[in-house]
Amino acid sequence: MKINYSILEKKLNLKFKNKDLLIKSLTHKSYNKFINNEKIEFLGDRVLGLVIAKKLLEIYPNEKEGIIDKKFANLVNKKTCLKIAKNIQLEKFLLTFNPSKKKIKIEDKIISDSCEALIGAIYLDKGFSTVEKIILGLWEKKIKESIITEIDAKTKLQEFSLKKFKKLPSYKLISNTGPSHKPVFKVAVKLHNSKYYIAEGSSKKDAEQNAAILCLNNNFDK
């Protein structure tokens, strides 16, 4: 079945000058061991990191580095890349080994890696300003979610839970370990009909905030 790459270009609102570069970025090594997206993925990973890091520093000029680093990790990990890729149905445009020529389920890792490779291809074909615009557009919702800070996470979670379930989140202290000068609190939080989300902190309050952040990150877009 022939792949119509112009559909993907329309989704991205751009037109590649070098179509071979686009195709290469979506070609897995199982399909072609010599011409594939491995090296472009390596580049795309770095380009994505640069764009997201730059944006986070613009949004949080006075935030602690550790907090920005957490937000950065959540925005560039494979799980997020997979969600972004599936939002634009990237799996429909991938070339992978398929001897039967039938519809197959492509592994999540291949899809998320190809998302990074596509970013690398856009950078090579269009330059930094274009790829930055594309990334910020695709990641817009995820970046907005990252604005949930540690300070107001419990409040945000309470608002979210009341609005969606008409019930407050449920917190419980699981453990308090470690020496008195360096305690480790482990707290769990759950929403109505959700699983427990568990996090640690140097105080019960910090652990609750961290658990709230984890819960929000997993439920905010549902």
Rounded to whole angstroms, the Cα distance separating 204 from 145 reads: 24
DSSP state of 98: -
Q: Look at residue 211 in the predicted model and tell me its pLDDT.
A: 93
Q: What is the pLDDT along the chain (222 residues), one digit of tens a residue?
A: 689 999 999 999 999 999 999 999 999 999 999 999 999 999 999 999 999 999 999 998 887 787 888 889 989 999 999 999 999 999 999 999 766 555 567 899 999 999 999 999 999 999 999 999 999 999 999 998 877 654 578 888 998 899 999 999 999 999 999 888 889 999 999 998 889 999 998 899 889 989 998 998 888 655
Listed by start position, the domains of the chain span 5-145, 153-219
CA distances (Å), 127 to each of 56, 58, 104, 122, 172, in order? Answer: 21, 21, 34, 7, 50
3-state secondary structure of 220: coil
User: Is 153-219 a domain of CATH 3.30.160.20?
Assistant: yes
DSSP for 150-218, written as a single string: TTTHHHHHHHHHHHHHSS--EEEEEEEES-TTS-EEEEEEE-TTPPPEEEEESSHHHHHHHHHHHHHHH
CATH homologous superfamily of domain 5-145?
A: Ribonuclease III domain (1.10.1520.10)
Catalytic residue among 45, 113, 125, 132: 45
38 is catalytic: no
Q: Side-chain half-sphere of 212: how many Cα atoms within 13 Å? A: 24
Do residues 37 and 24 touch, judged by C-beta distance below 8 A?
Answer: yes
- Which residue is associated with the tokens 């925005």? 75
116 catalytic residue (yes or no): yes
Q: How far apart are CA 61 and CA 47, in angstroms?
A: 21
| Identified catalytic residue from 116, 125, 132, 208 | 116
Q: In the 8-state DSSP scheme, what is residue 62?
A: T
Q: pLDDT at position 83, please? A: 95
